[in-house]
Chains A and B, each alone.
Chain A
Amino acid sequence: MRPADRYLGYLLISPALLVLAAIALFPILAAVGLSLQRRLPIFHIAAFVGLENYRFLMADPRFWNSLGNTVYFTAVSVALELMLGLGIALLLDRPFSGRGWMRAIILIPWAIPTVVTARMWEWLYNVEFGLLNHLLMATGFVTESVNWLGSPFWAIHSAILMDVWKTTPFAAILLMAGMQTIPRELYLAARVDGAGPWAIFWHITLPSLKPLILVVLLFRTLDAFRVFDAIYVLTGGGPANTTETISVYAYKVLFQTLQFGYGSTLAVMTFACVAFISLIYLKLLGRDYWRRLVQ
């Protein structure tokens, strides 16, 4: 590459870089700046306090509780989504009549806005009028209505179930796309060599899907870790903060109690966690994958 070309290259990408800086870098830096302040507009307080907010955060039981909830929610929902998504993708990968329709239909939950989904599930979970309790009672699985959103044990799992329902299609579609790219000859050759379905799945499908599985995990983990609207609408973080995730806590601190400094600290911590998770996944994916993707 000639030096002149390189300069031209920088020149050509500079508008994109400027836009990125304006819409991504600037807000992040502004949040970091705020997180170092004690900022309470109600009391006209705006003072630089260094790392004081972070020190407080380390001793804040509500932060640790919300972090725990977030990690649990993310781990369980993403694991379930991946397994179910893989299963659905395998089913839809085989030819059968009406497959096109099926593929379109399973996307519906993914297409519904989260707030609408949450309201819908709120009704499904309703103790007195909900369909879920009605079905469980009618089939004799339970004798008394389950208090899905009002009991500490069930509330978080109800939120996870809703998230799984909503986002499994996303995992399924991505994985299905990946399966389409596996050369059919590989399967034929394996069958000729006498491999059973399980061996074929284990030694051909799964390894070929590895990069896509990691991509699904990356996207879903990041989304689940920042979960806000689903929880906020479904439970508001209750009962007794058992479903309060970091994003919900940050929202309450920032916009309901107007502690802009500490709220930003929580937001920056969320950002740091998400960035850390991304780094791990990108490392796992390896450089080769990205190089191939670009080519």
Chain B
Amino acid sequence: MIQIFNKTLLVLGAAWFLLGCSTPDEVKGKAGVVKVVFKHGKIAGSPGSFRSLLKRFEEENPGIIVKDETLPSSTDQQHQFYVISLEGRSAEFDVLSMDVIWVQEFARAGWIRDLSHLLPPEEREQFFPGPIGAVIFEGTIYAVPWYIDAGLLYYRKDLLDKYNFDPPRIWEDLVVISKTILKGEGDPNLRGFVWQGKQYEGLICNVLEYIWSAGGDVLNKDGKVNLDSDQAQVALAFMRDLIVRYGVSPQMVTTADEEATRRIFGEGRAIFLRNWPYAWNLFDREGSKVRGKVGVAPLPSFPGFSSAATLGGWQLGINRYSRHPKEAEALIQFLTSPEIQRWMALEIGYKPTRKALYQDERLLAAQPFITGLYGVFLSARPRPVSPYYLMFSQMMQPEFSAVLVGLKSPEKALQDAQLQMDHILSGRPEA
């Protein structure tokens, strides 16, 4: 017994010795060096390339080291991680990368720091208006736009040329072009127009593009819900018609996400595709079946209204409980600087949030198609900018899905969604 006790003491002693020796190094680091922890989703490109960027920051800012930690690739899980950590007042990370729809929520909860001083009015002007609108909550800026996304129409240039069509400006033209080419080609494996109709966040992005391009919206100027409108009915009915009446979109869109549709188009089996800019790099790389055959255009609209793309993208903010806000700010300024945004566009294909870069010679030489994106990003619209947005989304998703699969009429679905959303805004979010 005593022997065992002695051995235990010995082991504990050894452990204490080892821990004791390593403690000063771990906690304090080299004299005066501050460690900034940066949490983000998976970053495209080779694993080493983003690291090399952070290394450059460390060299330019002696005294700061950056530890970057990748979260699971599903955005739902990233959101969940932030919510649990921030609600638990975790100081384990300093800089966080946020989806465009989270900033209002996090700001309302008081989880992220005021960064207004990083973006004075003249600096704000440098960025696209969409993302800037999404990071302002009650007049205060809570994050800096890092890179931008928006819905685009990809089309098969070769097929449209063959039948002498220009990319469609209005939705009905898209139907006509699809029908003509489908008939002319007579290929049973060719589909007309593929998009994302699965019940998830991507469905909202798709539906809003139709509602906006019919002149409707979710919230009106006073912030009241205005979803149940004639414009929204027209939009939803048209989406259902694409599948059933016109037969231009295959049944599979009701279960499709970005990747499912990207694959079909990438296999050369669809004429039109709605997707984010990331797909371009995949279509354009060596070995792709559609390389050189793809064009990009703004999404069509209904007659008399302008095209609308849903805004996506990621913003950088600082954890309210961070112990090193100054150093974290330095990292954010570095990552959102013109030079680094250009580097990210060239190296990993992330689109800059700064407007001037779309006239940058080096960038244009490498990726000429980004000139076409400028107009789309400039007019890209954020999903309802509200701390209630994630609740709204959960109420709209099943209703929109019900229309696409034919369980509800557009009128009924919109009424039902409006009722639930009104209820939330009426002051009792839980009931």
Residues of A within 8 A of B (CB): 38, 40-45, 52-53, 56, 62, 126-129, 145, 147-152, 155, 235-242, 244, 252-253, 255-259, 261-262
Contacts and interface: CB of A to CB of B under 8 A. Distances in A.
B405 interface: yes
A147 B252 contact: yes
B199 A238 contact: yes
Interface in B252-279: 252-256, 260, 263-264, 269
A157 B214 CA distance: 37
Given A239-B199, A240-B402, A256-B76, A40 B430 contact: yes
Given A129-B263, A259-B430, A262-B430, A150 B394 contact: no
B347 interface: no
B264 A239 contact: no
A236 B199 contact: yes
Nearest to A125: B255
Contacts of A52: 431
Contacts, number: 117
Contact of B391 (A152, A244, A257): A257
B110 A44 contact: yes
A128 B199 contact: no
A56 B423 CA distance: 13
B83 A238 contact: no
A253 B252 CA distance: 28
B429 to A, nearest CB: 6
B199 A56 contact: no
B105 A42 contact: yes
Given A43-B429, A127-B252, A150-B255, A236 B260 contact: no
Most buried by B among A129, A238, A256, A259: A238
B401 interface: yes
Contacts of A53: 430
B254 A239 contact: yes
A150 B405 contact: yes
Contacts of A129: 263
Given A38-B430, A255-B80, A240 B255 contact: no
Interface of B: 76, 79-80, 83, 87, 105, 108-110, 191, 197-200, 250-256, 260, 263-264, 269, 387, 390-391, 394, 397-399, 401-402, 404-405, 407-408, 429-431
Given A44-B109, A128-B250, A239-B402, A256 B198 contact: no
Contacts of B401: 238-241
B199 A241 contact: yes
Contact of A256 (B79, B108, B110): B79
B199 A40 contact: no
B161 to A, nearest CB: 25
Given A52-B431, A239-B402, A259-B429, A252 B255 contact: no
B266 to A, nearest CB: 12
Q: Chain B's interface: helix, strand, loop or mixed, by majority?
A: helix
Contact of B397 (A43, A56, A238, A242): A238
B251 A147 contact: yes
A205 to B, nearest CB: 43
Nearest to B269: A128
A235 B253 CA distance: 13
Contacts of B429: 40, 43, 45, 259
A40 B191 CA distance: 45
Nearest to B263: A129
A42 B80 contact: no
A236 B200 contact: yes
A239 B255 contact: yes
B430 A128 contact: no
Given A52-B431, A235-B255, A262-B430, A152 B394 contact: no
17 contacts: A38-B430, A44-B109, A45-B429, A62-B398, A128-B191, A129-B263, A150-B197, A150-B251, A150-B254, A237-B199, A239-B199, A239-B404, A240-B199, A240-B401, A240-B407, A241-B199, A255-B79
A151 B398 contact: no
Contacts of B397: 238
B214 to A, nearest CB: 22
A238 B398 contact: yes
Contacts of A235: 198-199, 255
A261 B199 contact: no
Nearest to A151: B405
Contacts of A45: 429
* Residue among B76, B198, B199 with most chain A CB within 10 A: B199
A49 to B, nearest CB: 8
Given A150-B405, A240-B401, A240-B408, A42 B387 contact: yes
